[in-house]
Structure 1
Amino acid sequence: MNAAKYIRYILTIATALLFFSACKDDKNESQPTDFILRVNESVSIKLPNSTSYTITTNNSAISYELSGKILTVTAIKEGKVTLTVILDSGESHNYSFTISANSYQMGFTIDSTPRIESWISGSTVKTEETAGLQVSCESGMDITGSPTDKSTRSYGFTYVETGKLLRFSAQGDFSQKGILNNGIMATRDNDNTPIQYEACTVSIEKVNDAGKIWFTLQFTDRSDIRIVTEIF
């Protein structure tokens, strides 16, 4: 066998071995199918080979993006989700996701009776009459969920299904009328939009014996927002 033929022979054998090894690795590669995420966390999943993928979920608590055969899944809200991927061969693969609150959401106490005025289109929202509106509060925590001194309190209002959010925090004496310090408000239109932060003047207009407190959030370029809620 001359040198040229010998080199071609060696290259042919090497190529065959590499192809066999790649096929074996791809076939034997193991991917997890159960995932535990916190809200806003993401995971990338390498899907089996296919010329096309059909993807469905049974819950809107996650979003996903497909790039080639890499599926990136992002947790949006708490819940359990099954994501199904169907290959062009008809083969089906299920992936399960259990989503819990992230560190910024932990510790907020849920309440059900406050009302908000002039947050959405100048209307009044009564929590107990509005399906899917969750109200939360916490002392010693700012609007991002980060711990701070005990004189700071945060109040949050979230539409669970859409992610529409209003949350504000301030610092001071919450037991009497007056202006509080370091007022700031966070709002978000839905789960797919970023949170917007605005400085505001937070004042307490009234505190009554029944455990209610009246807040006014004042801004330089928009209408005031009035909130009536519990004292915490």
Structure 2
Amino acid sequence: MKLADAKDVVEAVKTLEGARLPVLTPNLKGFEAAVAAGAKEIAVFASASESFSKANISVLLKKVLHVTMIYLMLQQSSPFLFAGMYLAWSGALLKVQLVHQKLHMLQLHDMGCIEISLGDTIGIGTPGTVIPMLEAVMEVVPVEKLAVHFHDTYGQSLPNILVSLQMGISVVDSSVAGLGGCPYAKGASGNVATEDVVYMLNGLGITTNVDMRKLLQTGDFICKYLDQVLAEGASKATDMAY
């Protein structure tokens, strides 16, 4: 991933009002650069899998947690650190994972992270695995500090988000037009499309204050600029009346 222009991006958006703009940093160098650029919220990420963490950011999980503590020490006050724990629903040994996830979440919570995101970056989770995972994590971390991050490789993002909402989660990650992906997981698609999430929430009677027509236009613009194909679902429904 090329991050050479990250400083310019932060400079361009840091004065926007009405939006939270957390900056994702993979290491201490990135953290220091983000703070220097004026970022108000910082996000770090770790993996529940040591091998994935090593491949994704060239750092083992134990080291990531150690660096997270360094981040907090550097802040001294006004905690604004977020943490993402990815690959939370990978593998078959769910009971073993539940124990590890609870320990990791408890560590991040005790470090002072103001929000902890549980992520399924390879998109293999289903409601049947999401529910017990969230139940386990909620035993050690308050639900108001949790978020979820689902990729749509197997088309399970929306049902996973729905059960997460029903369990009290109110923060959900998504990506316009379903852009993104996971370069270290073969066949993994991008994040769940924001258009699909907003459409579902509207159908549930939940107020999002998102202009669907503008959202669709944004996704169309970005995909044309990047020469990407729009994701299946609401993002392709440009003829829908909103």
Q: Is TM-score (shorter-chain normalized) higher than 0.5?
A: no
Task: Report the TM-score when normalising by structure 2.
Answer: 0.23
Task: Mark the structure with the bigger radius of gyration.
Answer: 1
Higher helix share: 2
Q: How does the TM-score come out when normalised to structure 1?
A: 0.23
